[in-house]
Amino acid sequence: MKMSNSDSKCKHEAGINQEKLEILKSLYSKINWKIIDERHKFLRQLDPLISDWQGQLPNLRDIFRKDEIDWLLLQSVIDICEDDESPRFIEFVARSGYKDEPDLDRDGKPILRRTTAVHEAFSRVVDTVIPTLFKIYDRFDVNYTDDDGLTHFHIACRYNSTDIVKKFLELGQDPNLLHTCTGRSPLHIALDNDCTEVFELLLREGANPNFAYDDALFTPLHSICKMEDGDDNLVKMLFEISDEKHVQVQVDARNILGETPLHLALEHDNIEIAKLLLQKGADPNSANDEGETALHLLCQVKDDPDSVEMIFEACHDKYRPVQINAENGEGDAPLTLALLNSKPEVAKCLLKRGANQNFANKKGFTPLHILSKDDFEGDGKRVKLYFDICDAFNRPVLVDAKNSEGLTPLQLAVAYIRPSAVDVLLDHGADLSNFVFPNESYFGKELGEAILTADCLKTKLQFKLNDVTRLLPIINRLEKGGYELDREDALMIMKFFAQYEMFEKWRDLEEYNWLDDEEFLATARNIMVKPDLSFYDAIQLPPREAAVRLEHTDYCDVANTFKDFRELPERQQKACVMHLCEKATRRFFYRWALDPLWKLIHHRLPIVCCDMILDNLKNEDLCNICLAAVSQN
């Protein structure tokens, strides 16, 4: 005989702990659901009641309305996140057998726009309760969507819930349904969260392997290639399943920056993936928006000639020649980048493969031009490396090649104030017989740009001192090699000093005479310029004696090396740097000011008197004497 509903209910209640059930009903009857505080109080009261509830659980629909359980579930998720509460109520609801049912519209169809406790748990990263919540929200023919377009299906993909994703798909869920807020497809969501099983399932169920999300235009292949320690098995899976479904993977798809999957694989050092992409037909000559090909990227990542060889070999197998001298947006060929980034083994590999050591870009810059002006470290090592590698391969370098503006590498090294590069170029035969000192359009231009972009006074001072102490060794080396600096060159250099305010000024000393600052002088005694000479002793030296006892690099070493100096207040640092600049360049200014002074006074005093006058003037005064002599002429 069939049991009636009332009999079934009685039998169910007979197995329930009646005492706890009565307490639950009593607590429920006392709250006013319109008052939020009472709801919170009720939820807190439930926890000790249900914590040790043994045996059969009640049918919650006999006690609560649907909207009340919805609120309690949502608030439980919030409490877990904010107050580290127990997920006990959520587990209690799931164990009770409660199943959520959708609200229906006028036509009797489920209303899908709804934020559930599943959405709340996802947004608050309360991962541990999501599997339990899916036992409550188990209508997989109903895909609830929140206000951001995030669905239960997306969340299942995010947490690698393969069984749940499969149930959704079996009931007709579109595997390409986008999360409208982010533009990501389920495939992207699975990839972004290392959900390999779901990724495979989605592909087999018809997910689009070429879908590019949002404005970034990232395909799933892009996403795999940019993963740290990328898994080439994922790439193999993508191609194999796509082949089975007769879908062609767009191996050279470009994202918003013009990057192909091959670019991203190389940028993230995923060499095995890059090799696989090339075997699948990826174009090694495809350039991103900065004009960089696969070779350009490899030459900047690490000194790995095997990776470079891999590109050539893979492309040889596909009968696709690699453009070894391709220029990027800056006009640099791969060989130039390898040298700029100190990758000697890669550079050797490129030369062996036929890279042109004298290749000139659209502006006429050869690798030597670029290396000579971009010797940022100031040690000339990259320029020397270039010559050494080319010598090893018996590849002659055009040391005096001119760019489109008629400048040689030596002129650029001088213009950018690179003393070590100048030394290397002259050691390798750069021609001084036809050398012309760079004019003011080029000379010192980089310092101006550096000062404009410097974020603080200390950085600007450092740039000034560096350039001052590097310039004079260049002049000495040029003259030692036979070049004669003329007065026009000297005046241009003086104007350079004036333009960037590299003079010690009388008015600055009136505002702050650092030689009267006992605290500073005590610090100066602890800063050693040389083993037998403190910074305090150095600043006391007369200019001529300082010129004899100190090298130009000694001045720069003080500012670059000593912590005590770098920690001085800005006003003291400025005073020090200007004084160092003054002393370091004194010999140069004196050399060019003596004769003009004598001429300006129409030879009325002997040279020895002019000499004494100059000893009591600042470099700025000597500069003005030289300029005045030019004006008079």
Whether 76 is in a domain gets the answer no
pLDDT for the residue numbered 544: 74
Tell me what the mean pLDDT of segment 143-154 comes to.
Answer: 96
Structural domain boundaries enclosing 580: 456-632
pTM: 0.75
Q: 236 lies in a domain?
A: no
Nearest CA to 519 out of 562, 568, 558, 556 is that of: 568
CA angle 323, 326, 328 (to 5 degrees): 145
Are the CB atoms for 136 and 70 separated by under 8 Å?
no
119 found inside a domain: no
The pair of three-digit structure tokens given for residue 284, joined into one six-digit string: 């090694």
Range of weakest confidence among 166-180, 270-284, 326-340, 504-518? 504-518
User: DSSP class of residue 58?
Assistant: P
Mean pLDDT for the stretch of residues 463-473: 81
Chain centre to alpha carbon of residue 581: 35
Q: Which amino acid is at 160?
A: N
pLDDT at 139: 95
Question: Residue 496: which residues within 8 A CB-CB, separation 6 or more?
Answer: 440, 443, 444
Residue whose tokens read 């500073």: 520
For range 95-122, the mean pLDDT: 95
What pLDDT digit, counting tens, does each position of 22-81 carry? 999 999 999 999 999 999 999 999 999 998 898 889 999 999 999 999 999 999 999 998
**pLDDT, tens digit (0-9, with 9 covering 90-100), for 567-602:** 677 777 777 778 878 888 888 999 999 999 998 998
Rounded Cα–Cα distance for residues 250 and 261 (Å): 9
Alpha helices in 378-429 (DSSP H): 381-392, 409-415, 419-427
- Per the CB < 8 A criterion, the answer to whether 57 and 92 are in contact is yes
User: With contact defined as beta carbons under 8 Å apart, do 139 and 168 qualify?
Assistant: no
- With respect to residue 97, please indicate whether it lies within any of the assigned structural domains: no
Residue 13 pLDDT: 53
Kindly tell me if the per-residue pLDDT of 302 is higher than 70.
Answer: yes
- Ranking 84-93, 189-198, 276-285, 569-578 by mean pLDDT, the lowest is 569-578
Residues 6+ apart with CB under 8 A from 285: 293, 294, 320, 322, 323, 326
pLDDT surpasses 80 at 510: no
- Give 204's contacts (C-beta < 8 A, 6+ positions apart): 241
What is the average pLDDT across 166-183?
A: 94
User: 3-class secondary structure for 352-384?
Assistant: HCCCCCCCCCCCCCCHHHHHHHCCCCCCCHHHH
Residues in Cβ contact with 171 at an 8 Å cutoff, skipping those fewer than 6 apart: 140, 141
Token pair of 99 as six digits: 């199943």
Evaluate whether residue 264 is within a structural domain.
Answer: no
Structural contact between residues 469 and 556, judged by C-beta atoms closer than 8 angstroms:
yes
End-to-end CA distance of the chain: 129
The answer to whether 366 and 412 have CB atoms below 8 angstroms apart is no
570 domain residue, yes or no: yes
pLDDT at residue number 572: 75
Per the domain annotation, does 416 fall within a domain? no
pLDDT at 503: 83
Tokens read off for 95: 């164990």
Residue 586 covered by a domain: yes
pLDDT mean over 205-227: 92
Looking at the 3D structure of the chain, how many domains does it have? 1
Helix and strand numbers, DSSP H then E, in the chain: 36, 2
